A = this chain, B = another copy of it.
């Protein structure tokens, strides 16, 4: 890494740059669960900073649950903080992150609004009322994903009530007589969390969200649900499902 001190003038602190280097090594497998992190002295020497700065970097990784101190024996990579969300033809947030016991979802708010031109286009409707639902998904009490969902209010007038009752899109759609739906499109991007997102997902300023914009349809292609889900990038990875080769 090139002189981290040089970046101070941009408002981006040296400890943060060091934490990023270490985070990259942890998330990409150079440092694995159970591995011991170099000591603060070794990190300070490696990155050319003082020990206080190295300690700050390690503390920020600990705050994210990526490493943990064990009294008298050092700091170790936990590897336990990252959940995998599988994206495929039958993507179901409710069964994909965490198991049934540890994961839960709840509706934060819902409202019926007039469709913006963009939402109307995605839902394949001329306009009119749509139901917008905001939801928060937690695993082991830790927030992992913030969802915004849009449904055609003409087709699914009671979807918000069903979602509040069942905490599951799949179950709420079943209550409307819809037994199956498929993922038609998913676009993935990443950006810094907004202040509102950081508050709900309990993230530090500067934390990252992975954003999926997705459309679910009936098996005949009729649009059913447009969604924008923001995953905490430090807690979630997306596993893309590919069809088996034709062979």
Contact = CB atoms under 8 A, between A and B. Distances in A.
A206 B12 contact: yes
Chain A interface residue count: which class? 35 or more
Contacts of A185: 239-240, 242
A219 B247 contact: yes
Contacts of A213: 28
Instruction: Classify the interface of chain A: helix, strand, loop or mixed.
Output: mixed
Nearest to A231: B190
A205 interface: yes
A20 interface: yes
Given A20-B193, A188-B237, A220-B247, 15 more contacts: A2-B195, A4-B195, A7-B205, A17-B194, A24-B194, A87-B240, A182-B242, A186-B240, A188-B238, A188-B240, A190-B233, A191-B233, A192-B208, A206-B206, A220-B245
Contact of A188 (B20, B188, B219): B188
Contacts of A193: 20
A240 B27 contact: no
A72 interface: no
A242 B27 contact: no
Interface of A: 1-2, 4, 7, 10-13, 16-17, 20-21, 23-24, 27-29, 84, 87-89, 118, 182-196, 199, 204-206, 208-211, 213, 217, 219-221, 228, 233-234, 237-240, 242-243, 245-247
Contact of A186 (B12, B29, B89, B242): B242
A10 B204 CA distance: 9
